[in-house]
Chains A and B, each alone.
Chain A
């Protein structure tokens, strides 16, 4: 649509204005400021004598042992929770979609964890996974599957594991809803054609359903990867980085450095590294999916 009249031009401008203001003040400015800040020695107590130090903050971040640990933790969290949520969510969506009735109750139940705030879900999981908590009681005293109470929250891998389980538990419902929406948009005719060709349900799923919903898969994957890097509240409340900062993730470590140690320049550089990583990851995911597209899905 061409904007021929001045009145329409003004009206479009007016519609755009709030959004543009919002973006420039609350998002674009903070990003630019963050970038600038990451090149300065910017610490508590020396706010007024910031010093330009080139890449020193970046080299401090990259040579920091805890940053490396937190980066790997975040990456693993993403690698485990993203496919975990997507596979279970897709499974739930396919099964629910095949039901002749009771779709709505299942949808509501599966969505319950999503609407449970992170703070609450984290506290419940912490309580369940306590060393003397419910899960250990069941595993050890009732089922005798383990020979002692496992200290779930007290080592790097098992502590991260608990938050990963929480992430999957909480995310399945969102994926279920998103995939359900996608499944409902797959044209029925395609299934009918597949039926005529004598395809079983698994073949139909692989050759009809998956290719039809691959945009949704890409969308979910990108969104969940961002979500995975954004993991914060669950870590903060369940392990708080303990023991020895071994269960920190990039953002909890950034927050610790900024608001507990007052090293804002360092934290800004760290944030920027996360931003760049995410942009690269998103680009990579688009690229992979595009190649898949040309070859046909799977």
Chain B
């Protein structure tokens, strides 16, 4: 019985640690939510409060952000950019990963070397020459000035992860298709894509986040208010004349966080499945 007792104490301890960690994870978000519900003048009140008193709660910040600021335009821009990025990145990296995993073609090692090499180089280091490229391609101040660059940033990691997953698919499946007279395309669409779908899904979630929250490139490339993605719109509220309307900033933040949260909760169980059998394995 003694064993069972320590077991229970251990479990309790385990819950306590996890709950404490959980509180640390969500506390800043609760603070943000609380601040977004305060009237604008009350943000530097003294003493500071995490959550406003119930009778001063106001949704004026949300009304302002959603009606006056046309925040939905920025939001839609972000959706366009992120969705295009994940579709293109999934298509391109799956086909790259499939070829690298399955075939020996001239330059295969070089290509894989480039994949690994560019994974190591952070996107921001290339910002100067990528910006020059963007001006050459005449995509400055356009959403199309974001999408291909985001795709290029996320392809290495995606390819690497999906390749690991495809390598685990038994080659006998391919053979069976070839014997039936199938082509490379048949194998790709009938075997590789369906079987690698958990990995594709989980890298797509990573890619979605990358594109959804990217700040610096969008700040550099986009000019017009109507073209800005939401991180740029939010930072635009920050520090004008040394004057930050935190209520608006946080109301925008909460609004933009909700869809990501829903997507993640919706997909979270495929997440681990996709990672387990993919590049990350023991």
Q: Do chains A and B touch in the complex (CB under 8 A)?
A: yes
Residue of B whose beta carbon sits closest to that of A187: B282
Q: Would you call B122 and A226 a contact (CB within 8 A)?
A: yes
Given contacts A133-B48, A219-B280, 4 further A-B contacts (CB under 8 A): A123-B234, A132-B48, A182-B281, A229-B122
| Chain B interface helix/strand/loop/mixed | helix
The A-contacting residues of B in range 247-282, CB under 8 angstroms, are 249-250, 253, 256-257, 260-261, 264-265, 268-269, 271-272, 275-277, 279-282
What chain B residues lie within 8 Å of A117 (beta carbons)?
209, 212-213, 215, 231, 253, 256-257, 260
State A223–B257 Cα separation when bound (angstroms): 25
Q: A19-B95, A113-B25 are in contact. Are A119 and B213 (CB under 8 A)?
A: yes
For residue B42, CB closer than 8 A to chain A, the reply is no
Q: Would you call B133 and A30 a contact (CB within 8 A)?
A: yes
For residue B152, CB closer than 8 A to chain A, the reply is yes
The B-contacting residues of A in range 24-47, CB under 8 angstroms, are 25-31, 33-34, 37
Q: Give min CB distance, A234 to chain B, whole Å.
A: 10
Q: Would you call A186 and B282 a contact (CB within 8 A)?
A: yes
- Give how many A-B residue pairs fall within 8 Å (CB-CB): 273
Q: Give min CB distance, A18 to chain B, whole Å.
A: 5
For residue A191, CB closer than 8 A to chain B, the reply is no
State A287–B141 Cα separation when bound (angstroms): 44
Q: Would you call A173 and B280 a contact (CB within 8 A)?
A: no
The tally of residues in B whose CB lies under 8 Å from a CB in A reads 94
CB < 8 Å neighbour of A98 from B14, B31, B124, B231: B14
Residue of B whose beta carbon sits closest to that of A281: B120
For residue A274, CB closer than 8 A to chain B, the reply is yes
16 contacts between A and B (CB under 8 A): A1-B104, A8-B184, A11-B184, A16-B111, A27-B152, A30-B126, A30-B129, A108-B265, A124-B29, A132-B46, A182-B276, A182-B280, A216-B281, A219-B280, A223-B157, A255-B216
Interface residues in chain B, defined as those with a beta carbon under 8 Å from any beta carbon in chain A: 11, 14-15, 17-18, 21-22, 24-26, 28-29, 31-32, 35, 44, 46-48, 50, 91-93, 95-96, 98-99, 102-105, 111, 114-115, 117-130, 132-133, 148-149, 151-152, 155, 157, 159, 171, 174, 183-185, 188, 209, 212-213, 215-216, 220, 231, 234-235, 238, 246, 249-250, 253, 256-257, 260-261, 264-265, 268-269, 271-272, 275-277, 279-282
Q: Give min CB distance, A25 to chain B, whole Å.
A: 7
What chain B residues lie within 8 Å of A233 (beta carbons)?
215-216
The tally of residues in A whose CB lies under 8 Å from a CB in B reads 99
